[in-house]
Structure 1
Amino acid sequence: MRSVVVNRLRMASEQECSASAQSTAFPDIDISAPLPPHTFAGMVEREILERFEASEIERVLQSWRLLDKDYFHREYVGEDGQEEGSYMVQECHSYVPGLSIKPFWNPDEFDWTAYIKNNYKKIRKEFDAVNADMLRLQQEGSNVWAGALTEDAAAYGEGWKTLVLMDRGRWAPANVQLFPNTAKIVHDSGVPATEVFFASMKGPSEIKKHTDFTNFLCTFHLALDIPGENKCRISVGDETREWTNGNVLLFDTSLMHDAVNESDEMRYILMLRLWHPDLTSVEREALQFLYDCLEVPGLVSNDPAEKFRATQSVEAMKAFPTLQHEPRGFGGKTQKGKRKNRGSGKGSGA
Structure 2
Amino acid sequence: MSTDMSSTTPDLFEIRPSAHPVTDADREAALASPRFGTVFTDHMARISWSTADGWHDRRVEPYGPLQLDPATAVLHYAQEIFEGLKAYRHADGSVWTFRPEVNAARFARSARRLALPELSTEDFLGAIGALVGVDRAWVPAGEEMSLYLRPFMYASESFLGVRPAGAVEFLVIASPVGPYFAGGVKPVSIWVDRQYHRAGPGGTGAAKCGGNYAASLLPQQEAYAKGFEQVCFLDATTGTQLEELGGMNVMVVHADGHVSTPPLSGSILEGVTRSSIIQLLADAGHPVSEEPVLLTDLQAGLTDGSVTEVFACGTAAVMTPIGRLASDDFDLTVGTGEAGPVTTLVRQQLTDIQYGRAEDRYGWLHRIA
Interval of TM-score (by shorter of Structure 1 and Structure 2): under 0.3
What is the TM-score normalised by the length of structure 2?
A: 0.24
Greater strand proportion:
2
What is the TM-score normalised by the length of structure 1?
A: 0.25
